[in-house]
Structure 1
Amino acid sequence: MALRLLLLLLTATILISQAQGIGNLGMDCCLKYSEKLISVNRLTSYTLQEPESGCLLRAVVFTTKKNKKICASPTDADVQKMMQNLDKRVRKDKKRQPPRYRGRPKRQKQQKV
């Protein structure tokens, strides 16, 4: 009897946790597009939201420097330009190499034994 009760409680707990989305990855989906566009200088990156990811709306999700998410239409010409500008910035940053040391190396002092 106690085993049945324990099994029933365990099953109920699993069903409730799945209904509440505890087993979900916790991904936020864009439900609509933002009306305002933000300056490219305030953006750090973007991701594409596709129906394959479990969201109904196809969107471009921009991330700002303050870590805010902005949803935009992927078919909008301004949005596509912003995506291209971000891609160029990332490529430019990857090409940058650390500065080289210029000048003669300093002579090391010899230690006396």
Structure 2
Amino acid sequence: MASRVAALLLLGVICVGFASGQTAVDCCLTTVDKFLPLSRINGYIIQEAGNGCDKSATVFTTKTGRILCVSHPSKLQWVRSHIESLEAKKPAKK
């Protein structure tokens, strides 16, 4: 009887360990400040430090599918400008 309880307790601990594990996230480890023409950009994601990543950054996706990590929009004016342009191109939600 004690071995059944111990086995159930061990199984519970293992299940909790798996449930509390973090999901793998692709993060920018470094950023560049090199200007990227808006005509080459297809989309973006803003990465905030503390949400699974160590560094705040802007992740631009190019029309060819490449990913480029640049500084956070709060640091570079051209990044803010590109984001505003991309947002303006999005269709309005109903």
Task: State the TM-score bracket (shorter-chain normalisation).
Answer: 0.5 to 0.7
Matching residue of 2:9: none
1:55 to 33, 53, 56: 53
Matching residue of 1:28: 26
TM-score scaled to structure 2, two decimals? 0.66
Distance 1:85 1:61 in 2: 15
- Residue 52 of structure 1 aligns to a residue whose secondary structure is coil
Matching residue of 1:81: 81
Structure 1 residue runs of 4+, over 3 Å off? none
Where in structure 2 are there 5+ consecutive unaligned residues? 1-16
TM-score scaled to structure 1, two decimals? 0.56
1:32-77: CA deviations, max 9, x gaps?
1124221111111111101232111001111111111111112211
Query: Is the radius of gyration larger for structure 1 or structure 2?
Result: 1
- Residue 50 of structure 2 aligns to a residue whose secondary structure is helix
Number of paired residues? 88
Relative contact order: is structure 1 or structure 2 higher (C-alpha 8 Å, sep ≥ 6)?
2
Work out the percentage of aligned pairs sharing the same amino acid: 31
Matching residue of 1:111: none
Root-mean-square deviation (Å): 2.9
- Residue 29 of structure 2 aligns to a residue whose secondary structure is coil
